[in-house]
Amino acid sequence: MNRPHLAPAVPRPAGAPLALAGIRVADFSHFIAGPMCSMILADMGAEVIKIEKAQGGDDFRNLRPKVGADQSAPFLAMNRNKRSIAIDLKLEAGVAVARDIVAKSDILLENFSGGVMDKFGLGYEALSAANPRLIYCSVSAYGRTGAQSDRLGFDPITQAESGFMSLNGEPDRPGMRAGPSIMDMSTATMTCNAILGALFARERLGKGQYIENALFDTAVTMVGFHGLNYLVSGNEPTRFGNASTDTVPTAAFETADRPLFVCCANDRTWNRLAARVLDRPDLAENPGYATTAGRIQHRDEILAIVGRILATADRAHWLARMRDAGVPGGAIASVAEAFGSQVMADRQMLSTIPHPTEGTVPNVRLPFRMAGTPLADPVAAPLLGQHSEAVLRDVLGYDDAAVAGLRANGAVRMG
């Protein structure tokens, strides 16, 4: 399938304010959870200075597919609207530059292993003493305290350990991870919420605070109400594949050509599905099928009946009938199908944006829209050290001699 044709991003209204204009973020984070968090802040108008290691930068630059010499598609996806300065933190001169950036920042975001920031003199206690209004945010796999705090961890490991993975997949197979890095991305959004709350609190209380978030904690949250169900009942939830333990029929079905998914969350929807989509009013009138509780008891036979009927016509036929009847249903689309779909075009989720070496690159916008303070116009993720000199001069006020000295001793890599 051909990739969709993408139009340039639609500019934001001229003169519209930005929600986080005037807020500066010293972003020491890398990979996904931290960078996505700071990208959300950047999209809302914060000035995000991405502080990268001088040799190679964020390791996410090296993934595939590659975009230019020092970027990748995954890196572009997590680092829009930022400026990059490349610093060698093994040199005291480099650490001094990092401290100067933090001193002029409202927020610090980091997701190093435990103790790394303290080793460089960039821990919360040291920096907050000099900048009491600083909001300092640490993201890690298992938190900064406790017996697990020294462990390295990644998204799929926390999916496994939190119980989340045990809920995914077919009942007769081992638990399955979610394909996308949903714990990293959920950690990013949760952390962003905390930072926005801390900014609001700072306006009232006049001081910053320390924020900590862990992938494991987020993964536990993502278990959702199934966790509380277990704590209340003592019954351990199990995998239920594409079906649902709570509503019937909520499941994937094969049609005559391609699969679809139906969600009947209540009795009204079931009645519409049976009578107006499947042309089987007798199913709606069956006393054993009339309530959710009854349909759960007869799950297997109902799924078999619905499956046989849906297999008699193609997916487009059934989706049109479901839409007319007010029954929630959708295509089980591939990424290519989803990105080329009408709803994707209607929502204007995709665009192209200028890139300093590649001409243009694709872009996927954030899901929310703000009428009063529209999101910033998208700017492609920075090249490594692309803004080093500008940050030194414009943000920190370094003169020619200072900039030249940092360039000469390798403490800062210039783009």
The two three-digit tokens of residue 29, written as one number: 């984070």
Q: How many CB atoms lie within 10 A of CB 146?
A: 10
Evaluate whether 101 touches 120 at the Cβ level (below 8 Å).
no
The two three-digit tokens of residue 265, written as one number: 């969350």
The most distant pair of C-alpha atoms in the chain lies apart, rounded to whole Å, by 86
Task: Confirm whether 184 is a catalytic residue.
Answer: yes
Tokens 């890398």 correspond to 30
Q: Is the bond leading into 13 cis (omega within 30 degrees of zero)?
A: no
Catalogue the long-range contacts made by 308-312 (C-beta closer than 8 Å, 24 or more residues apart). 309/278, 309/280, 310/253, 310/254, 310/255, 310/260, 310/278, 311/253, 311/254, 311/255, 311/256, 312/256
The two three-digit tokens of residue 154, written as one number: 């990644």
SS3 335: helix
Evaluate whether 41 touches 48 at the Cβ level (below 8 Å).
yes
Q: How many helices (H) and strands (E) does the chain have?
A: 18, 14
* Alpha-carbon span 112 to 76, nearest angstrom: 21
Residues contacting 54, CB < 8 A, separation 6+:
86, 87, 88, 94, 385, 410, 411, 412, 413
β partners of residue 289? none
Evaluate whether 94 touches 122 at the Cβ level (below 8 Å).
no
Tokens 């019954």 correspond to 235
* Alpha-carbon span 143 to 219, nearest angstrom: 13
Query: For the packed helices 33-43 and 182-205, what is the interaxial angle rounded to 10 degrees?
Result: 50
Which among 184, 267, 282, 300 is annotated as catalytic? Answer: 184
Strand ranges in 300-383 using DSSP code E only, listed in sequence order? 329-331, 350-355, 359-364
Q: Hey, which residues are catalytic here? A: 184
